[in-house]
Chains A and B, each alone.
Chain A
Amino acid sequence: MSVEDLTPVDQSITVKRNQIPVAYTLGGVVALAVFFTWAPWILPASDVTILMNFFILVIMATMWNLLAGYAGMVSIGQQGFIGLGAYATLYFAIKGMDPFFAIPLAVIVCAVIAFPVTFLLFRLRGGYFAVATWVVANSAMLIIGSIAFFGGGTGHYLPGLTNLSFKVLNHDTYLAAWFVALVVVVATYILLRSRLGLVLSSVRDNEVASRSSGAKVTSTRRTVFIVAAAGCGAAGAVLAISQPFIQLGNEFNLQWAAEMLFASMIGGLGTIEGPILGCVIFFVLQQSLQNYGAWYLIIFGALAVGVAIWQPRGIWGFVRDTFHFELLPVGYRVSGAGVTNEARSAMRTVRWLRRTQKTPLEQDDKSP
C-alpha cells in the first residue's frame, strides 16, 4: 500500500483511502491496458468499431459525471465542446497537420474557449445553468456553421487520412479513442483523490458552507468546467477522425449530451465506476435492441425512468451501498480506537441512503 493509504494520525487511528491494495488496482489496470491495446489484432473489425465508439462515450460520460455528479453542474450543452473539438481537429488538418496530432491541440482549443464561457455561465444556477449551456452549444454550432472555411452547413471531409487503408485507420482511431479514454479516467481519478476532489463534493452538497470553510468555490468550479470541456473536446477530436466527414448536425448533436447523461445516470452519478458501467449497459442494450426499431429508444427511456425512480444512485451506487465496495474509491475512512465500528457505520450509511434515496443532483439549491 502507498504511504497515504495508511497514514497514522496518532497511535490509535489510521486514515484509509483504498479498499484493495494499490498493487492489485494497478495490476488490473495494466491487464486491461494490455487487452484493449491488443484488441484490434484479436477482434473482428466490427467489434473494434463498437469498442471505439464505447471508449468515445466513456470519455463523454466520465466528463459529464465530473461536471454534474461531483461538481453539481448539470450541463446539457457538452455537445458544444464535442463539436468544437471536432472542428478544431478539422482546422488543423486543413492546415496540413496529421489529425491524430491535432487531438491535443483540439483539447487546448476547447479549454481556452471554455474559460471565458464560465464567466457567463457561472452567473446562473440549477436549471438556468443547464439551459444556458445548451444555448452556448447551439451558438457555437451557428457560429461554426457560418464559417465557409469549415464548409458551412454541408460539412467538410477531414484531410490527412486518405493515405491510410481502412484497416489501419480503424486500428489507429481505436487506439486513439482507447488511449484518450484511459487518460481521461485516470486523470479524473487522480483529480478526485486530490484536495480538489473534496472541494468538489462539498460544492455539490452546499456551496455556501463550502465557501465559509475556506474553499475557493468559483475557481474550483471553473477548473472542473474547463477540464470537462477539454475532455469533451478530446472526444470530439476522436469522433471527427472516426467519421472523416465532419458535419454540424452530427458533431453538435444533442444526442451526445443525452447519451452521456444516460450512461452516467444508469451507471451511477458521483462515482468513477458508474459512468463506465453505464456505457457498458448502453452498448449492450444498443447492440441487443438495434433490430427492434423505435422500441430500442422506448426501452432505453423506460430503463432511465425506472432507475431514476427506484435506484436514483444508479446501478454502481446500489452495488457500492449494498456491498460497501469501490474499485476506485476517492473518499477517506478513519479506523481505530474511538471510531465507531466500520461495519455498523456502513450499515447506517446504507439505511440512510435507502431512506432518503437521494442523488447528488437532488440537493436543494442553497446558493445565495
Chain B
Amino acid sequence: MPLLQLEGVSKRFGQVVVADGITFQLEAGSSVGVVGPNGAGKTSMFAIISGDIKADSGVLRLADQDLHRVSTPQRCRLGIGRTYQIPQPFEHMTVFENALLAAQQGARRRGRESYEAAYRALERAGLAALANRPAGSLALLHRKRLELARALASNPRILLLDEIAGGLTDAEVVELSDVIRTLQSDGIAILWIEHVVRALLSTVDRLLCLANGALVADGDPHEVLASDAVRRVYLGGRIINESGIA
C-alpha cells in the first residue's frame, strides 16, 4: 500500500486552476522530486497535502486514511511534515523552542522525551550549536535548516520540502543533499520541490513535473528532464547536461 496517494486531486480559485486532476503515489522511504515553472501549482499541491488548502475534488490518502476531513495539525500528527519556501520561523522563540513546539505538538511527546526529540532534530539539521538563538536572528541558511529541524521534530513519515536549497551556495546544497539522503535511508518519504536541479538529481529516485496545475511527467529524473513535454513547459526547450546545467 502506498504511503501517500493522490488521485484526481483538483483545486481552483475562481478561474485559476492550481491543481488539475493530480494523480501519483509515494512509497515509504522513497524520494521524489517536483519541478515545474513558477505558478505551476507545486506549492499549492503541498498546501493541499498538508491541509493548508482544501482540495475541491479527488482522493487524498495517507496509508489507509482518507485525509479530506483531517485538519492541518492532525495531518502533522499523522506524519506529514512540511517546510515552507519562504522560511516561517517563530521569530520571538529560540531555535530550540521552535523545534520543541513541533516535538510536543506534532509528535505528541512530553517532558524529557520532547527535549530529546527537539535536540536530535536540531542536531540532524546542523543547528544544535544555535539552540538558544532567537529564530528571528538567523541567516537564510540557518532559517532553512530550522524549517527542516522543525519538520523533523514532528516525527514525520513524509517530509514535504519546498525549495529548501534555494539561495544556498554549492557547498551548502551538497551538505543539505547529504542530510536529505540520510533521512531517506531512515525510512522517511521525501517529496521535494526544487529549482536547483543538480540537488534533485543527486538525491531523488523519481521526478514529477507540474505545469498549470497538471502533472505532465512522472518517472526517472533524467528521463523526465529529457522529455519533450518537460523541456517545453519547464526548460524552454533547451537540452540540459548530466549536471543539470542548461
Which A residues contact B (CB, under 8 angstroms)?
4, 7-10, 13, 15, 195, 198-199, 201-202, 204-206, 208-217, 270, 331-335, 338-340, 342, 345-346, 348-349, 351-353, 356, 358, 360, 363, 366, 368
Which residues of chain B from 73 to 111 have a CB within 8 Å of any chain A CB? 73, 76-77, 82, 84, 88-94, 96-98, 100-102, 104-108, 110-111
Closest chain B CB from A294 CB (angstroms): 37
Interface string of B209-237 (1 = CB under 8 A from A): 00000000000000000000000000000
Interface contact A334-B119, CB-CB below 8 Å: yes
- Contacts A201-B90, A214-B77 given: A338-B128 contact, CB under 8 Å? yes
Chain A residues within 8 Å of B50, by CB: 212
CA of A214 to CA of B93 in the docked complex: distance in angstroms?
A: 17
Provide the residues of chain A in CB contact with B136, threshold 8 Å: 352, 356, 358
Complex: A366 Cα to B110 Cα, angstroms = 28
Asked whether, in the complex, the Cβ of B96 is within 8 Å of the Cβ of A334, the reply is yes
Partner of A345 from the list B71, B90, B97, B132 (CB cut-off 8 Å) is B132
CB of B170 within 8 Å of the partner chain:
no
Q: A339-B129, A339-B132, A352-B137 are in contact. Are A205 and B73 (CB under 8 A)?
A: no
Does B11 interact with chain A (Cβ within 8 Å)?
no
Q: What is the distance, in angstroms, from A364's C-beta to the closest C-beta of chain B?
A: 10
Complex CA gap A333/B131 in Å reads 8
The smallest C-beta distance from A341 to any residue of chain B, in angstroms, reads 9
CB distance from B231 to the nearest CB of A (A): 34
* Chain A residues within an 8 Å CB radius of B51: 211-212
The residue in A7, A216, A345 that gathers the most chain B C-beta atoms within 10 A of its C-beta is: A345
- 13 pairs, CB–CB < 8 Å, chain A vs chain B: A4-B111, A9-B115, A9-B119, A199-B101, A201-B92, A212-B51, A213-B73, A214-B73, A214-B107, A215-B101, A216-B73, A332-B115, A338-B128
| A332 with B82, Cβ < 8 A, contacts A349-B134, A349-B137, A368-B52 known | no
- Distance in angstroms between the alpha carbons of A58 and B72 in the assembled complex: 37
Select which of B91, B128, B132, B137 is within 8 A of A333 by beta carbon: B132
Least Cβ–Cβ distance between A335 and chain B, in angstroms: 8
Q: Which of A213, A348, A358 contacts B102 (CB 8 A)?
A: A213
By a CB distance below 8 angstroms, the chain B residues around A352 are 134, 136-137
Closest residue on chain A to residue B80 by CB atoms: A212
- Contact check, A332 vs B116: say whether CB atoms are below 8 A apart: no
Which residues on the B side are within 8 Å of A202 (C-beta)?
Answer: 90, 93, 98, 101
On whether the beta carbons of A339 and B131 are closer than 8 Å, the reply is yes
Q: What's the least CB distance linking A13 to chain B, in Å?
A: 7
Closest CB of chain A to B163's CB: distance in Å? Answer: 16
Q: How many residues in B have their beta carbons less than 8 Å from beta carbons of A? A: 46
Interface residues of B in 121-156 (CB under 8 A from A): 123, 128-134, 136-137, 150, 154
- One of B96, B102, B107, B123 near A332 (C-beta < 8 A): B96
Q: Which residue of A lies closest to B110 (CB)?
A: A195
- Closest chain A CB from B218 CB (angstroms): 25
Q: Which of B105, B107, B128 sits near A199, CB closer than 8 Å?
A: B105
Task: Let me know if A358 and B129 touch, CB within 8 A.
Answer: no
| Complex contacts, B104 vs chain A, CB 8 Å | 195, 198
Contact A213-B106, Cβ < 8 Å, known A7-B115, A349-B133: yes
Residues of B within 8 A of A360 (CB): 92
CA distance A216 to B72 in the complex (A): 9
Q: Is B69 in contact with chain A by the CB < 8 A criterion? A: no
6 closest A-B pairs by CB: A214-B106, A352-B137, A214-B105, A209-B88, A214-B76, A205-B90
* CB < 8 Å neighbour of A339 from B84, B112, B128, B150: B128
With A9-B115, A213-B154, A332-B100 as contacts: A201 and B93 at CB distance below 8 Å: yes
User: In this complex, which of B51, B101, B119, B129 has the most chain A Cβ atoms within 10 angstroms of its Cβ?
Assistant: B101
CA distance A348 to B130 in the complex (A): 11
Residues of A within 8 A of B154 (CB): 213-214
B119: nearest chain-A partner, CB-CB: A9
The 8 Å CB contact of A205, one of B52, B93, B111, B131, is B93
**CB < 8 Å neighbour of B131 from A209, A214, A334, A363:** A334
A327 CA to B131 CA, complexed, in Å: 22
Verify A198–B128 contact, CB threshold 8 A. no
Q: Please, which residues of chain A bring their CB within 8 A of the CB of B76? A: 211-214
Q: Which residues of B contact A205 (CB under 8 A)?
A: 89-93
Chain B nearest CB, measured from A155 CB (Å): 44
